């Protein structure tokens, strides 16, 4: 016992230490939350700052006089697009002359500023609009991915020293063309709506076709996992007796929810492709695999919302003579529907962002260049899906494609946001508290 | 006739059955529906179900069984010499199936008349080139025996398909007709329909079992096939992973140990990041945070869980990897020169850790909240500070649940694919330097199976053996987690 009397309010050494420990402990908690939020912020800023650039693209505007004789000559030649390219090249020379920009480059060197696709774009336009022949039409051609990168600050002159396609002189020319208003960065709808392009033409690639692939897959997922999941949950929640089989089903569902998604990909490969001979890369197969993957999620959330319907509703229905099935389908199910739909939507969101199983059933490595023509073709013809397309772009190891991958992620996240918001609104609007 | 057409026709018969069945019931009660045993619609449903369910069941079973039987029949016709030469029946049959598919494609493309197609002769026609034209690439020229088997396969398949649609449609008509003839006012239609509906519900619930069965069977069959071609001991105890693809020749070395090492190392780093952060975040949110902080911070953290893994993968590859190289790489901030490329164990582990934070935090949050307030009050009443209460009372009470949550997180980390495919690299090596590229089981499953539909080489089949290892590992962790939670959970009144 110490002799000196102290006020309760003066802290002795031990209390001080304990209080310090308390503050330290609380500090750890704050730091953990801060770290989590920091990571979220870092992730989102990276996505937004890298992704938004993919939505604009650099275009070159040239007027081309479409003359019948020149076009006939090009159509008669063996490599048609190269003749069309020459037409574009000549038009570029004329445009430079008109804007009083001096250059000593020949046509072939000038054309390197443009995307490889310029010639075929012109040809497609001519074939589609034959009555435009004889007039002068203003064209917007995509510039090559390096010029585009220069406009976006991704490519600097020093990078071009070892580049075979473009050198600093091109960029000087581009600078002058910007001043003359010939080269412009514009919003690029083709990125959102267009098709994937080959590895050497990142400026042309778009996510539109794989978006359709994802759309058809989600149709399969919704069409199968909702009815199957609801039916399974109704049985387990309302009818199932307590026996071995039902126990087995319950344990199975709990375990399936934790099986890695890649294993579902192996299942899809072995069962749907190897055994059932369904076509590879088809959205139908992707949808089936994702259905099996999301089914446990749907079942778990559906059971929760069936459970939340109070027993008095069932008792009332049974009391006035409804059969058990009638009670469930006429009373319980409609009341549980908002909760069920919320769960299903969350399941769909999970399926929409899933990539790993799609790698195994061939939805990667397939270049989605053609949109499906019709509903059956949408389900059965090879296609990609949004996350698979992003992975494909990330694998191509080209900064121009990395930019597109980030842009694709932005679109994917926008879809997920919409889907999740729908779930939240549905829950807020219709969910009842009993 | 395709399965889809058969399905549509059966459906049409069922709809007609509904209309007529309902009408017959109402007529049998001479228009007075009160005299019926069930509501009129039930008689319609009864007729429709009898037309639909048996026919569709037969259709489904037939579609699954037909190729199996055809395989057996056709492989019985193959000459033994051919099988002996190829090494296995399955290899020859794979060829036969490809040729048969190709011939179907030729017929669909219309390059050859049907007669000419069935009289093809491998000696006089270049079948390989013919099939190549319609997009079916073959590895070698088609041998006459294989072509013959493919032709007989197609012939059998054609007649079997005709038989199938005849049987299905007749069954549907018989079912509808029988139920229609039984329909009168005393038929207990509701009870029949309800037991049918219940059977459908049970069927839907069994899908879960079927999925598990499908996973296990597809893994086991292909793994057994793999171990027939490659010794199991070399797979489980081999320390080198060096698959050689058919073009290069030489034997592959497919030892799983370096992959397991990479998987565990990355998962370990992920858990080192995720567990303390997630746990402290959960403690702070449930014990300290004011309500407004909690309502904002909790959903924000959970946002991390809703982001698709491909996003994390890209984040690892393009942001975290280069950043780490800038710090730990040659001439980097620390000047240690440990890291050579952006893809490394550390890169994947860090990013995976970020992904797992909300997983750990929301699971632990639930568990901490389940500890009764009375325990906290008791401890605080004895004079313990808040942190002492948490460390000495709340956490011990919540420990089994937290251990369960950590095991679940570990199982997630082991099964994660996209982050490691993009962020960890492709080289299978065993090293203790976390800044070196290593690879995991999941990444190798992807690289061995992507774009490959030919499952006859050990290099492709090894993916199934890897898959079963992964499945058993994650399943084991999940079961262990559930067991710990159940066994050591404190029961509070």
Please answer yes or no on whether A412 and B308 come within 8 Å at the CB atom. Answer: yes
Spatial separation of the C-alpha atoms in residues B385 and A219, rounded to whole Å? 55
| Burial classification of residue B4, based on how many CB atoms lie within 10 Å of its CB (0-12 exposed, 13-18 middle, 19 or more buried) | exposed
In degrees, to the nearest 5, what angle opens at C-alpha A190 toward C-alphas A186 and A193? 135
For residues B83 and A48, which has the higher predicted lDDT (pLDDT)? A48
Please answer yes or no on whether A22 and B306 come within 8 Å at the CB atom. Answer: no
A385 and A213 in contact (C-beta within 8 Å)? yes
B227 lies in some domain = no
Residues of B in contact with A266 (CB under 8 A): 215, 218-219, 445, 449, 463-464, 467
If asked whether residues B65 and B179 sit together in one domain, one would say yes
B130 lies in some domain = yes
A357 and A259 in contact (C-beta within 8 Å)? no
Pick from B289, B314, B455: CB nearest A390:
B314
Token pair 């499906």 in the structure block, residue: A372
- Structure tokens that stand for B38 in this block: 């069930």
A264 band by pLDDT with thresholds 50, 70 and 90: very high
Spatial separation of the C-alpha atoms in residues A214 and B7, rounded to whole Å? 26
B34 band by pLDDT with thresholds 50, 70 and 90: confident
Please give the residue range of the domain that contains residue B367.
Answer: 253-488
If asked whether residues B30 and B117 sit together in one domain, one would say yes
Pick from B280, B315, B317: CB nearest A32:
B280
Token pair 């409609």 in the structure block, residue: A334
Query: What Å distances lie between residue B201 and A232, A238, A257, A325, B47, CA to CA?
Result: 6, 11, 20, 11, 19
Residue where one domain finishes, among candidates B141, B162, B187: B187
The conformational region for residue B361 under phi > 0 = left, psi -120 to 50 = alpha, else beta, is: alpha
pLDDT tens-digit map of B323-353: 988 888 877 777 777 778 888 899 999 999 9
Give chain A's mean pLDDT.
86
If asked whether residues B14 and B123 sit together in one domain, one would say yes
A349 and A214 in contact (C-beta within 8 Å)? no
Chain B residue with Cα closest to A349? B306
Q: What is the pLDDT of residue B135?
A: 66
Please answer yes or no on whether A232 and B207 come within 8 Å at the CB atom. Answer: yes
pLDDT tens-digit map of B389-411: 999 999 999 998 899 999 999 99
Please answer yes or no on whether A416 and B306 come within 8 Å at the CB atom. Answer: yes
Spatial separation of the C-alpha atoms in residues B86 and A345, rounded to whole Å? 50
Please answer yes or no on whether B417 and A231 come within 8 Å at the CB atom. Answer: no
- Structure tokens that stand for B261 in this block: 């090492």
Spatial separation of the C-alpha atoms in residues B449 and B219, rounded to whole Å? 13
Pick from A39, A228, A264: CB nearest B354:
A39
- Specify which residues A183 forms β-bridges with: A60
Residues of A in contact with B212 (CB under 8 A): 252, 255-256
B396 lies in some domain = yes
- Identify how many contiguous H helices and E strands chain B contains and give both numbers: 20, 2
Q: How many CB atoms lie within 10 A of CB A316?
A: 13
Taking the alpha carbons at both ends of chain A, their separation in whole angstroms is 60
Q: What is the pLDDT of residue B299?
A: 87
Please answer yes or no on whether A253 and B300 come within 8 Å at the CB atom. Answer: no
pLDDT tens-digit map of B275-325: 999 999 999 999 999 999 988 988 888 888 889 999 999 999 999 998 988
Question: From the candidates B208, B351, B383, which should be mutated to test the interface with A, based on the most A CB atoms within 10 A?
Answer: B208
Residues of A in contact with B449 (CB under 8 A): 266, 269, 359-360
Spatial separation of the C-alpha atoms in residues A362 and A387, rounded to whole Å? 13
B247 has pLDDT over 50? no
B82 and B49 in contact (C-beta within 8 Å)? no
If asked whether residues B153 and B302 sit together in one domain, one would say no
Residue where one domain finishes, among candidates B187, B209, B229: B187
Taking the alpha carbons at both ends of chain B, their separation in whole angstroms is 65
For residues A106 and B391, which has the higher predicted lDDT (pLDDT)? B391
Q: What is the pLDDT of residue A112?
A: 82
Q: What is the pLDDT of residue B493?
A: 54
B379 has pLDDT over 90? yes
Query: Where are the domains positioned within chain A?
Result: 53-187, 208-430
What ipTM was estimated for this complex? Answer: 0.90
Tell me the helix, strand and coil percentages in chain B, rounded to 5. 75, 0, 25
If asked whether residues B306 and B387 sit together in one domain, one would say yes
Count A/B contacts: CB-CB distance under 8 Å.
Answer: 267
Q: Which fold has domain A208-430?
A: MetI-like fold (1.10.3720)
Q: In what order do the strands lie in the sheet with A183-187?
A: A136-142, A56-65, A183-187
Pick from A43, A259, A353: CB nearest B310:
A353
Spatial separation of the C-alpha atoms in residues B441 and B435, rounded to whole Å? 19
- Structure tokens that stand for A163 in this block: 């580049």
A432 has pLDDT over 80? no
Question: From the candidates B310, B320, B391, which should be mutated to test the interface with A, based on the most A CB atoms within 10 A?
Answer: B310
Q: Report the domain count for chain B.
A: 2
B357 has pLDDT over 90? yes
**Strands B253-254 and A56-65: what pairing?**
unpaired
A260 band by pLDDT with thresholds 50, 70 and 90: very high
Query: What Å distances lie between residue A87 and A41, A84, A111, CA to CA?
Result: 49, 5, 10
Three-state SS at A362: coil
The Cα of B156 is separated from the nearest Cα of chain A by a number of Å equal to 17
Spatial separation of the C-alpha atoms in residues A350 and A416, rounded to whole Å? 9
B265 band by pLDDT with thresholds 50, 70 and 90: very high
The Cα of A186 is separated from the nearest Cα of chain B by a number of Å equal to 26
Three-state SS at A58: strand
Please answer yes or no on whether A258 and B414 come within 8 Å at the CB atom. Answer: no
Please list the alpha-helical segments (H only) found in B284-344: 291-306, 309-315, 321-328
pLDDT tens-digit map of A7-34: 777 878 888 899 999 999 999 999 999 9
For residues B162 and B71, which has the higher predicted lDDT (pLDDT)? B162
Which CATH number belongs to the domain containing residue B451 in this structure? 1.10.3720.10
If asked whether residues B389 and B467 sit together in one domain, one would say yes
> What residues contact residue B187 under an 8 Å CB cut-off, 6+ apart?
B25, B37, B38, B43, B46
A213 and A284 in contact (C-beta within 8 Å)? no
- Structure tokens that stand for A311 in this block: 């027993």
- Structure tokens that stand for A252 in this block: 């199975």
Average pLDDT of the residues in A195-212: 86
Residues found in chain B: 493
Spatial separation of the C-alpha atoms in residues A199 and A184, rounded to whole Å? 24
> Residue A283 phi/psi, 5° resolution?
-55, -30
Q: What is the pLDDT of residue A158?
A: 76
The Cα of B201 is separated from the nearest Cα of chain A by a number of Å equal to 5
B254 has pLDDT over 90? no
B359 and B305 in contact (C-beta within 8 Å)? yes
Residue where one domain finishes, among candidates B168, B187, B206: B187
Nearest to A362 by CA among A244, A213, A223: A213
> What residues contact residue B164 under an 8 Å CB cut-off, 6+ apart?
B6, B59, B62, B63, B66
Please answer yes or no on whether B303 and A40 come within 8 Å at the CB atom. Answer: yes
A148 and A206 in contact (C-beta within 8 Å)? no
If asked whether residues B114 and B262 sit together in one domain, one would say no
Nearest to A56 by CA among A184, A178, A176, A181: A184
If asked whether residues B135 and B284 sit together in one domain, one would say no
If asked whether residues B437 and B358 sit together in one domain, one would say yes
Pick from B277, B306, B445: CB nearest A32:
B277
Please answer yes or no on whether A277 and B67 come within 8 Å at the CB atom. Answer: yes
B102 and B147 in contact (C-beta within 8 Å)? no
B361 band by pLDDT with thresholds 50, 70 and 90: very high
pTM of the prediction?
A: 0.85
B219 lies in some domain = no
B442 and B263 in contact (C-beta within 8 Å)? yes
The proportion of chain A whose per-residue pLDDT surpasses 70, expressed as a percent, equals 98
Q: Lowest-pLDDT range, A85-89, A217-221, B48-52, B480-484?
A: A85-89
Query: What Å distances lie between residue B47 and B35, B174, B183, B320, CA to CA?
Result: 19, 11, 8, 63
DSSP character string of A98-146: HTT------HHHHHTTB-TTHHHHHHHHHHH-GGGTTSEEEEEEEBPHH
Q: How many CB atoms lie within 10 A of CB A87?
A: 22
Spatial separation of the C-alpha atoms in residues B314 and A397, rounded to whole Å? 12
Nearest to B7 by CA among B68, B59, B46: B59
**In this structure, what DSSP letter does residue B142 have?**
P
Residues of B in contact with A275 (CB under 8 A): 218
Spatial separation of the C-alpha atoms in residues A195 and A213, rounded to whole Å? 11
Three-state SS at B369: helix
């Amino acid at each position: 016992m110490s002799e000196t009397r102290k006020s309760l309010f003066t802290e002795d050494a031990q209390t001080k230490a304990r209080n310090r420990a308390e503050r330290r402990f609380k500090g750890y908690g704050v730091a953990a939350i801060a770290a989590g939020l920091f990571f979220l912020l870092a992730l989102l800023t990276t996505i937004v700052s890298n992704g938004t650039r993919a939505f604009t693209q650099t275009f070159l505007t040239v007027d081309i006089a479409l003359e019948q004789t020149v076009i006939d000559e090009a159509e008669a030649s063996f490599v048609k697009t190269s003749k069309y390219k020459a037409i574009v090249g000549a038009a570029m020379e004329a445009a430079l002359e008109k804007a009083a920009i001096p250059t000593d480059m020949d046509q072939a060197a000038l054309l390197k500023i443009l995307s490889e696709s310029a010639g075929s774009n012109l040809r497609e336009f001519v074939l589609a609009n034959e009555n435009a022949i004889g007039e002068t039409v203003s064209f917007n051609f995509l510039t090559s991915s390096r010029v585009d990168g220069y406009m976006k600050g991704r490519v600097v002159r020093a990078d071009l020293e070892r580049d075979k396609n473009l050198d600093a002189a091109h960029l000087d020319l581009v600078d002058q063309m910007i001043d003359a208003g010939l080269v412009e960065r514009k919003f690029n709808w083709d990125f959102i709506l267009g098709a994937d392009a080959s590895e050497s033409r990142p400026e042309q690639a778009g996510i539109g076709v794989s978006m359709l692939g994802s759309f058809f897959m989600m149709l399969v997922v919704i069409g199968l996992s909702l009815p199957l999941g609801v039916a399974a949950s109704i049985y387990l929640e309302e009818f199932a007796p307590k026996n071995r089989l039902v126990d087995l089903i319950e344990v199975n569902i709990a375990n399936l929810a934790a099986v890695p998604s890649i294993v579902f990909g192996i299942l899809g490969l072995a069962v749907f492709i190897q055994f059932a001979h369904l076509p590879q890369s088809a959205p139908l197969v992707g949808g089936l695999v994702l259905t099996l993957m999301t089914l446990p999620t749907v079942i778990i959330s559906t059971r929760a919302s069936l459970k939340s319907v109070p027993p008095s509703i069932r008792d009332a229905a049974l009391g006035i003579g409804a059969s058990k099935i009638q009670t469930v389908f006429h009373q319980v199910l409609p009341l549980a529907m908002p909760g069920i739909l919320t769960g299903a939507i969350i399941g769909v969101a999970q399926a929409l962002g899933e990539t790993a199983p799609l790698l195994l059933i061939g939805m990667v490595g397939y270049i989605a260049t053609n949109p499906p023509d019709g509903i059956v073709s949408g389900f059965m013809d090879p296609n990609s899906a949004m996350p698979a397309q992003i992975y494909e772009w990330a694998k191509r190891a080209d900064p121009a494609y990395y930019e597109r991958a980030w842009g694709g992620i932005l679109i994917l996240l926008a879809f997920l946001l919409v889907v999740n918001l729908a779930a939240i609104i549905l829950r807020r609007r219709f969910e009842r508290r009993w | 006739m395709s399965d889809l057409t058969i399905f549509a026709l059966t459906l049409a018969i069922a709809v007609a059955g509904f209309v007529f069945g309902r009408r017959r019931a109402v007529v049998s009660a001479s228009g007075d529906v009160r005299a019926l045993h069930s509501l009129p619609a039930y008689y319609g449903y009864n007729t429709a179900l009898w037309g639909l369910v048996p026919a569709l069941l037969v259709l489904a079973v037939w579609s699954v069984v037909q190729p199996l039987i055809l395989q057996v029949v056709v492989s019985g016709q193959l000459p033994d010499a051919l099988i002996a030469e190829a090494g296995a029946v399955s290899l020859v049959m794979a060829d036969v199936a490809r040729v048969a598919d190709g011939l179907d494609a030729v017929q669909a493309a219309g390059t050859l008349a049907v007669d000419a197609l069935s009289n093809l002769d491998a000696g006089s026609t270049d079948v390989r080139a013919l099939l190549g034209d319609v997009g079916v690439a073959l590895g070698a020229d088609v041998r006459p025996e294989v072509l013959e088997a493919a032709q007989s396969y197609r012939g059998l398949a054609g007649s079997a398909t005709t038989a199938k649609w005849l049987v299905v449609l007749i069954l549907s008509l018989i079912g509808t007709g029988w139920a229609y003839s039984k329909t009168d006012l005393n038929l207990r239609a509701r009870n029949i329909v309800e037991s049918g509906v219940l059977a459908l519900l049970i069927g839907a619930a069994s899908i879960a079992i079927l999925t598990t069965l499908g996973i296990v069977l597809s893994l086991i069959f292909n793994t057994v096939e793999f171990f027939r071609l490659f010794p199991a001991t070399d797979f489980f105890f081999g320390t080198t992973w060096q698959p050689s693809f058919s073009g290069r020749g030489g034997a592959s070395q497919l030892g799983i140990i370096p992959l397991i090492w990479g998987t565990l190392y990355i998962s370990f780093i992920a858990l080192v990041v995720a567990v303390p952060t997630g746990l402290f975040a959960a403690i702070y949110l449930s014990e300290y945070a004011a309500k407004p902080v909690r309502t904002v911070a909790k959903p924000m953290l959970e946002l991390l869980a809703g982001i698709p893994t491909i996003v994390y993968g890209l984040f690892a590859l393009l942001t975290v990897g280069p950043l780490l190289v800038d710090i730990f790489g040659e001439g980097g901030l620390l000047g240690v020169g440990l890291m050579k490329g952006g893809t490394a164990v550390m890169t994947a582990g860090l990013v995976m850790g970020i992904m797992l934070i909300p997983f750990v935090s929301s699971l632990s949050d639930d568990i901490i909240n389940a500890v009764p307030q009375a325990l906290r009050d008791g401890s605080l009443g004895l004079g313990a500070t808040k942190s002492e209460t948490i460390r000495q009372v709340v956490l011990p009470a919540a420990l089994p649940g937290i251990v369960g949550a950590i095991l679940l997180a570990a199982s997630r980390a082991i099964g994660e694919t996209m982050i490691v495919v993009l962020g960890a690299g492709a080289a299978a090596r065993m090293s203790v330097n976390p800044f070196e590229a290593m690879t995991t089981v999941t990444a190798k499953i992807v690289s061995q199976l992507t774009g490959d539909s030919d499952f006859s080489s050990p290099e492709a089949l090894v993916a199934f053996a890897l898959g079963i290892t992964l499945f058993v590992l994650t399943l084991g962790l999940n079961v262990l987690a559930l067991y710990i939670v159940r066994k050591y959970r404190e029961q509070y009144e």
